[in-house]
Amino acid sequence: MARRPRVESAGFHHIYNRGVERRIVFLEQKDKEKFLDIVCEVSLHYDFVIHGYVIMDNHYHLLLENKRENLSAGMRQINSTYAQYFNKKEKRVGHLWQDRFKSWYIFDEKYLFTLFKYLEQNPIEAKITKKIGEYRYTFIHDILQNKLRNCMKESFILKWFDSTNELLKSLDIKMTEEEFDKIEKFQKDSTAYKREPKIVMQKIELKEYFSKDLSKAQRDTQIVKAVKGGYAQSEIGRFLGLSPSRISRILKKKSKVKL
């Protein structure tokens, strides 16, 4: 069966991925912390906003907003960077993720909170905890602990509710079968992508980012802009005649964070 076309348009996306053969890919807390570090570091480069998330032992969900048509490039960076970290740490080789990540474009604003609620109730459905906010690797836990990362501080959830108590009350209401059915139908709907708004953002050609008279500092700034514009580090490296590791070092230096 042909794959459902990936929607790259700017907007909200539900992202999901799990370990190959359903294996555990987050063995300990520091693995989940590392994954969140990578998500936020990549979000900085690609102009992503994380509106919600949950990290379980063998899979993760992200409620992500991309400002440009660069979803696949950014998610490849997230998944490959974590896989490199995990394989090195565990002294393993081979694929870490079961497949390319799954994504669903969210064209209905009313669906946003249902999805956010679904993510937050994941640990409860898995019988890991009985109370919203107790599980450490969820968005609401970060809110309660006042430790939201920078990539999450623009979440719609912070604007929709006047207080944390009001948000908790809404999340504490157990999901109905109708809500679960809505999510299941949405994820199985192969025609949903056809209904998304046609937000066309033209990709600027690489040659427009770079010119012969750029200084080294200006070139490095343009490299960051090209990454945010949806180009993979390998593409930029080939265009400039620089190695991928060199591009990576430039991005680390410019962002002052470690990828």
Same domain for 172 and 88: yes
Same domain for 188 and 90: yes
219 found inside a domain? yes
Number of independent structural domains in the chain? 2
Same domain for 221 and 160: no
Reported as a single tens digit per residue, the pLDDT across 57-87 is 999 999 999 988 889 999 999 999 999 999 9
pLDDT at 241: 87
Q: Which residues contact 116 (CB under 8 A, 6 or more apart)?
A: 51, 52, 63, 139, 157
Q: 39-58: string of b/e by CB count within 10 Å (b at 16+)?
A: bbbbbbbbbbbbbbbbbbbe
Flag whether pLDDT at 142 surpasses 50.
yes
The distance in angstroms from the start CA to the end CA of the chain is 36
- pTM > 0.85: yes or no: no
Residue 100: other Cβ atoms inside 10 A: 13
Burial (CB count <10 Å: 0-12, 13-18, 19+), residue 116 = buried
96 found inside a domain? yes
Q: Quote the mean pLDDT of the chain.
A: 85
Same domain for 164 and 42: yes
Same domain for 56 and 91: yes
The whole domain housing 250 covers 206-255
pLDDT at 248: 78
Reported as a single tens digit per residue, the pLDDT across 45-59 is 999 999 999 999 999
How many CA atoms, within 13 angstroms, populate the side-chain half-sphere of residue 181? 3
Same domain for 216 and 185: no
